[in-house]
Structure 1
Amino acid sequence: MTLHTETLRIRTGAEERVHDLTADCARFLAAHAADRDGLLNLFVPHATAGLAILETGAGSDDDLLDILRTLLPPTHPYHHRHGTPGHGRDHVLPALIPPHATLPVTAGHLALGTWQSVCLVDTNVDNAERQVRLSFLAG
């Protein structure tokens, strides 16, 4: 078994954001997976961000942020109250959008569907810098 790991540093800025990581994953796999089959694991070591597989560029990323504002309204009286108003919802986000994903790799490429992208979902405007750990495991 072989394992390769790399940490991406992503600048999400001061706005809620869905950041597409698919090209970063492809670069990582090109360097470490060659033509092998295995698994790509992604992990976000933050309490206020998650990973989602969804279509981007056609409005789905904005729809996701809109739905999150409805499900987790910033004006709700959260018990967790430090940070900007509504920051408590950022700490609930990983319960709905997990901070991890494991994806199949076939012949060195992500085995995603036609419209699927790997995305970092970040609603925390207090933390503009994020890390995403990529690990490729081949048997």
Structure 2
Amino acid sequence: MDSETRSYRTGSEEVVLDLTDDCAEFVSGRGDGQLFVFVPHATAGIAIIETGAGSDDDLLAALGDLLPADDRWRHRHGTRGHGRSHVMPAIVPPSATVPVLGGRLALGTWQSVCLVDLNVDNPDREVRFSFLG
């Protein structure tokens, strides 16, 4: 298995960051196999969704409805509602697997691989890409 870790700056706002181009670059020329994408953080996840047509904003809105940024959370350090960021990976898991055919991601037409980060206290993230051929 071949792996690489890349760093991303997500900033101080909730974000859905499209990683598809980086994923495609990582698997380019590798033949058939599987790409594993993993975020080694307790407060971030990986989603395969449509982006650019509002779905990424819809995902953040839905997570805001499901996991409000208020004082209900027992995990209370950091900014108000930070505890919800620790619950989010149960909904948006920290990993995804994408088939690779002929060195190309076998995603559907509108699918993108995205980093989902609600944690405004940690602007720096790492994502591990691993290829199994």
With 105-114 and 74-83 compared, the bigger mean Cα shift is at: 74-83
Taking structure 1 as the reference length, the TM-score comes to: 0.94
Counterpart of 1:121 in structure 2 is 116
Q: Which residue of 1 aligns with 2:95?
A: 100
State the number of aligned residues: 133
Alpha-carbon distance between aligned partners in 1 of 2:53 and 2:97, rounded to the nearest angstrom? 24
Tell me the alpha carbon deviations over residues 10-66 of structure 1, each in whole angstroms, 9 at most, x when there is no partner.
100000000000000011112xxx251000001100000000000000000000000
Residue 23 of structure 1 pairs with residue 18 of structure 2: no
1:17 and 1:93 mapped to 2: Cα distance?
Answer: 13
**Structure 2 residues not aligned, in runs of 5+:** none
For 2:21 and 2:91, locate their aligned partners in 1 and report how far apart those are by CA, in whole Å. Answer: 24
Residue 11 in 1 paired to residue 9 in 2?
yes
Report what 1:47 is aligned to.
42
| One-letter identity of the residue aligned with 1:81 | R
Look up the SS of the partner of 2:23 in the other structure.
Answer: helix
- Identity, in percent, stands at 65
Taking structure 2 as the reference length, the TM-score comes to 0.98
Letter in 1 for 2:14: E
Q: Which runs of 5+ in 1 are unaligned?
A: none
Please tell me the root mean square deviation across aligned C-alpha atoms, in Å.
0.8
Query: After the TM superposition, which segments of 4 or more aligned residues of structure 1 sit over 4 Å from their partners?
Result: none
1:74 aligns with 2:69: yes
Mapped to 2, the partners of 1:76 and 1:60 lie a distance apart of 27
Shift of 1:89: 0.2
